Amino acid sequence: DIQMTQSPSSLSASVGDRVTITCRASQSISSYLNWYQQKPGKAPKLLIYAASSLQSGVPSRFSGSGSATDFTLTISSLQPEDFATYYCQQSYSTPYSFGQGTKLEIK
Amino acid sequence: QVTLRESGPALVKPTQTLTLTCTFSGFSLSTSGMCVSWIRQPPGKALEWLARIDWDDEKYYSTSLKTRLTISKDTSKNQVVLTMTNMDPVDTATYFCARMGVDSSGYLYFQHWGQGTLVTVSS
């Protein structure tokens, strides 16, 4: 099974900051990497698919990059509504797997 | 508009079998390429993928849980059912169903989610 490791597990930042979250796969997954945002009590929301493709309706301040085993999610200028938990997920092969999450908190 | 809604018992006893139903609209699971997954999330913890069923009835399961899980579909009712046997308190979680999307290059992702249903396992 493919293991996904995110870092950091938590992050404090201010509105307007640039933030980067990383995700590493235990083996090459090409670009089969997705990013989700989850707010308390809500279902996850797809932000980025195929490592770098922005889901329709998602603000352009979100971007993704990477391939093979190393990936990043970048938020170029944090907005108040961006404080949430972020998960990466590989869809290269079943069983699918998620990272452990990165909780983005207000500094 | 695609919608999914999970339903099932809020409380089950240890050793019992859990049956959850995902009722969806806005797509047909008989359409080529469609697939639906179940994902769970224990309180305060990360997401965990459980199972997937495809339009052609192909099924895939979590390695660690495959002996306890069964996924099935009723295309005429627009439903996907997940059963999990021998429930334990560690299975307490919010259970989500999600429809997968696929882009032109074949990349898969969880595009549409239900709101989730919390299942507590306790005697």
Window B:53-72, CB contacts with A under 8 Å: 60-63
Output the pLDDT for position B96: 98
Beta carbons of B114 and B87 less than 8 angstroms apart: no
- Which of B96, B105, B109 is closest, CB to CB, to A34? B109
Q: Which residues of A touch B (CB under 8 A)?
A: 1, 31-32, 34, 36, 38, 42-46, 49-50, 53, 55, 87, 89, 91, 94-101
Q: Count CB neighbours of B103 within 10 A.
A: 12
Output the pLDDT for position B80: 98
Output the pLDDT for position A107: 87
Tell me which residue of B4, B14, B30, B3 sits closest to B97, measured CA to CA.
B4
pLDDT digit string, tens, across residues A45-78: 999 999 999 999 999 999 999 999 999 999 999 9
Output the pLDDT for position B86: 98
Q: Which residues pair with A90 in a beta bridge?
A: A33, A97
